[in-house]
Structure 1
Amino acid sequence: MGLFWIQGGELSEYEFPDASDAEGEVESLTSAFERLKSSYGSADDDDARPVMEASQIMTPTVVTVTESCPLERALALMSEHKIRHLPVVSEPGPRVIGIISDRDALLMAADLEEQELDGVTVGEAMTTELLTAAPYTEIPFLAKTMVEYKISCLPVLDQDELLVGIVTTVDVLRSIACHAPLNLWV
C-alpha cells in the first residue's frame, strides 16, 4: 500500500488493522474501499482511469528543520512559507525523525511565557510517531489515512527512506476537484 510508520526514528511498513482483530470495531481498509467503489457503480474498461499516486500530487520541495532548531524559528518558517507542517530531519543526514505542525508549536508556546520560549527547540514540541507515504501510494489510501488518523499531511519517502515530498489535505482535495470523475459529485 505504500504507508510507513516512523516510531523512535525507525521506519517500518504500516499494516492497517483488520476488522477481525478489532472485534468488529474497525472495518478493514479493503472492504471499505470495495464498498466505496460499489457505491459509485462499476466503470467500463473504456471509462477506467489510472489511479493517481502521491508522487503526482505532492509538493516536492519541502521546507525542513532539525530538532535543534529554535521553536520560534520554526514558527517563522511556517509563516514565511505559508505552510502548517515541517518535517524534522536528523543531523547530519536527511532522515525524517518527526514532524512539527503549527498546532504543536502554538500549543507549546501557549504553555510558556515569552522568556521561557527562547530556549525551546523543535525537538521538545515535535511529534515523533508519524505515518509516511511512498511515492507510489494511491490517493484513496492517502485520503483514507488522513481521515482515519485525523492528520493533515504525510511526508513522502523514497525507497532509501529519504524525504522526496509532502502530501497535504489540500493536495488531496485539489486532485479530487481537478481529476475525479464527475459522478463523485452527483
Structure 2
Amino acid sequence: MGKIARTLFWIVLLIAGAVCQAQDDLSGSAASMKNFALPEYSKDNGRLQFILYGESARNLGAQILLVNPKIDIVKNDITNIQSIVSFASLQPYPLTWTAGQVADFWKNKGHSQAVIFSDSAEYDKNLRLLRGDAPVHFRTPDMSVDGVGFDADQDRKFVHIRSKVKIVIYPAARKRSGVGRNSADDKSKKEKK
C-alpha cells in the first residue's frame, strides 16, 4: 500500500504543478482598458487604416470585448496621425438630419471615410474582424445606415449590417452616382439642345 500511496502522491503533485503552470500562463492574457484609442495599421504597407475608440475593453487573448466602440475608418491618403480629429466623444447623428446638417458634421473630419458606432462589439486581432450583435450606426458623408448586428472586415473593405436596416442616401451622393435620373428627363434635356 505504501508504494501505491507514494505513486499517487507524485501523480497528484505533478498534476498540481501543471495546473499552477497553466494558471501562470493565463494570468497575463487578460487586460482591461478604459476610454481608449487603438490605431490599427495595414500589415502590408504600414498605413493607418482605422482607429478603434471605446469606453472600455477587455482583452482576452486574440479577442477584444468592446463597450461603446467607435471605429473611425481613415482615408487612404492620410499619412500623419497628428492630422486626425479624435472621435472619442463623438456620438452618431440621427437619420432625420438634413443633408446640410450632415455636411456640417463632416466639415472638420476630413481624415475619415466613415464611422461605425455600436453599444458593444468584439474585435479579433488576428483576423482583423469586428462584429457585434447590438444596434449599429454606420455614418459617412454620403449616407447613414442604422441596423442591428454587424460584421466589418477592414482588409476587404466590407461592412455587413445584419437586420432592421434603415438607409438614408444624401443628395450629393445621389447626383454623383446618377441615382434618381430617369430616361424621360434625359430625353427632354436632349430635345432642348
Same fold by TM (over 0.5)?
no
TM-score by length of 1: 0.31
Bigger helix fraction: 1
* Structure with the larger RCO, 1 or 2 (CA within 8 Å, 6+ apart): 1
TM-score by length of 2: 0.30
Structure of higher CA gyration radius: 2
